[in-house]
């Protein structure tokens, strides 16, 4: 629970509670906002269709302990095409490669050796927007540096490095 503190410093009537979330990726959680949350202070501005400039504004003082967490948004649609770093890295015998697809498209995820030769195709199919992972096993591949690349019919490809240690 947190109580609204009026601009003059006195507590306003009533309390509100719930989750503070945002779906707007253009408004990241900055260091300044984190510091404000840790200090149990935050400024709020509620916008509505009737009052797009802000209807209720004020400093917020959180009462008691603040529970913080990172929650997975299973049904959210990624806003961009991206290839994540495999984990673990270095690895033996398996690693996971995370990636996201923003638009329905033909997606290919391939592994290449240091000379650029294709070692394995992990994904080659039409995928809907979403977050995905691919598992790569190295039981039949020598130790060394390898690259994996993600390409799509609707986005510029991306490539990352991974290391197999046996």
Whether the Cβ atoms of residue 163 and residue 90 lie closer than 8 Å to each other: yes
Rounded distance, CA 99 to CA 150, Å?
A: 8
Same domain, 149 and 119: yes
Per-residue pLDDT tens listing for the chain (166 residues): 333 333 333 344 445 555 545 555 555 666 776 676 666 666 666 666 676 666 666 666 555 555 555 555 555 677 788 999 999 999 999 999 999 999 999 999 999 999 999 999 999 999 999 899 999 999 999 999 999 999 998 888 999 999 999 8
Nearest to 58 by CA among 12, 4, 22: 4
DSSP characters over 21-79: ----TTS---HHHHHHHHTTEEEEEE--SS-TT-SEEEEEEE-S---------TTPPPS
67 within domain boundaries: no
Same domain, 7 and 49: yes
Q: Which of 11, 29, 62 is the last residue of a domain?
A: 62
> What does the block give as tokens for 91?
């690895």
Same domain, 91 and 159: yes
Whether the Cβ atoms of residue 91 and residue 75 lie closer than 8 Å to each other: no
Q: How many domains does the chain have?
A: 2
71 within domain boundaries: no
Rounded distance, CA 117 to CA 89, Å?
A: 21
């Amino acid at each position: 629970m947190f109580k609204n503190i009026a601009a003059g410093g006195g507590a306003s009537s009533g309390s509100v509670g719930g989750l503070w979330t945002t779906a707007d990726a253009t408004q990241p959680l900055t260091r300044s906002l984190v510091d404000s949350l840790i200090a149990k202070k935050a400024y709020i501005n509620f916008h509505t269709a009737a009052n797009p400039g802000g209807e209720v504004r004020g400093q917020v003082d959180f009462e008691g302990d603040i529970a913080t967490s990172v929650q997975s948004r299973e049904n959210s649609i990624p806003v961009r095409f991206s290839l994540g770093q495999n984990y673990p890295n270095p690895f033996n015998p398996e690693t996971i490669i995370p990636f996201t697809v923003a638009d329905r498209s033909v997606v290919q995820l391939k592994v290449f050796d240091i000379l650029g030769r294709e070692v394995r195709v992990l994904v080659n199919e039409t995928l809907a927007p979403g977050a995905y992972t691919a598992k790569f096993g190295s039981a039949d591949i020598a130790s060394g540096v390898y690259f994996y690349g993600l390409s799509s019919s609707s986005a510029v490809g991306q490539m990352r490095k991974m290391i197999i240690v046996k």
